[in-house]
Homo-oligomer: A and B are copies of this chain.
């Protein structure tokens, strides 16, 4: 089976070098060999998070990281404001509700970003223990201005726990945990961090540690137990970690560091701009406003009569995987992921497939126009 090019909201492409590291025979997790790799990964994660806080690792996907945050920070009936701009904002709220947390919603029409003013207005209405917010919403291709939102929150509430789902953003755009005074930030291996799914990473601030009980309702997500592991001279985890994924993730982070974090961010911006320009050249419109549109994933409006499902399967036949819309956006948008291990070559390959699908569907496009646009944009 030939490898397909994944330009999805995740998992994303994994560099050969990372796959090779993952394919090593596992090492035992209570050894110096493992401790060194684990420590090396953690130091690099801190750099990507922009934090001096501990970054905890769980054998779980991003949703598990979100659940871990809720299980440790909140107890039943705690009041929490959940800011939702799409599927993953809704999911975060749902997770909190499962734990009996008293969740108020601040929901936006899908395709829009959250406004700092709205958040502040809600915080003035009621005292909350925490606020849950998505950094980058893959379901709509919208990125929140997390810096402005955090700044506004802190102007009205210095105690509230700011919990950010950065699952699809960390490593592709700045998250600046400490500068933004974010208490708990969650990300995962399979998006901008260029590693297969199965690892969740969570930073925890001093403010957050103060409200974390020693015996949370969950044993698996226990932050204190994970912290104790990191404080050992040879760091480890409270139970068997996903060893091979950690070895792979460490290698992927080394690649990011070698390229330079600023260069990685710049590359994401350039690729996003080229993606948008290429789409425009083919006559497509973006789903999100230009000012809100994500440098990590682009959501595209399906023109009238455009059969998204047929389009996706034609593109797939060319070996390129894109995704459609979720829930009420099904059939109305398609999405092109461009985070992590993404470059001009992949983008050209994706648009070649997109053009071929459009021709097959009877669209009268100027063959090669999007490739030319990419070529001109990415100089």
The segment out of A92-100, A252-260, A274-282 that lies at the interface is: A92-100
Task: Decide if A50 is an interface residue (CB 8 Å cutoff).
Answer: no
**Main SS of the interface on chain A?**
loop
Residues of chain B with a CB closer than 8 A to A27's CB: 4, 6
Residues of chain B with a CB closer than 8 A to A217's CB: 98-100, 217
Residues of chain B with a CB closer than 8 A to A238's CB: 63
Residues of chain B with a CB closer than 8 A to A22's CB: 22-23, 244
**B98–A216 contact, CB under 8 A?**
yes
**A11–B243 contact, CB under 8 A?**
yes
**A198–B61 contact, CB under 8 A?**
no
**A25–B29 contact, CB under 8 A?**
no
**B240–A30 contact, CB under 8 A?**
no
Interface residues of A in 177-229 (CB under 8 A from B): 188, 190, 196-198, 215-220
| Alpha-carbon distance between A244 and B244 when the two chains are bound, in angstroms | 10
Given that A23-B19, A25-B13 are known contacts, is A240 also in contact with B59, CB under 8 Å in the complex?
no
Given that A24-B3, A243-B11 are known contacts, is A220 also in contact with B59, CB under 8 Å in the complex?
no
Task: Decide if A60 is an interface residue (CB 8 Å cutoff).
Answer: yes
Task: Decide if A10 is an interface residue (CB 8 Å cutoff).
Answer: yes
Interface residues of A in 1-45 (CB under 8 A from B): 1, 3-4, 6, 8, 10-11, 13-14, 19-20, 22-31, 33
Residues of chain B with a CB closer than 8 A to A216's CB: 98
Interface centre among A8, A242, A245 (most CB of B within 10 A): A242
**B64–A197 contact, CB under 8 A?**
no
A-B contact pairs, 6 of them (CB 8 A): A3-B24, A6-B26, A19-B25, A61-B242, A197-B242, A242-B245
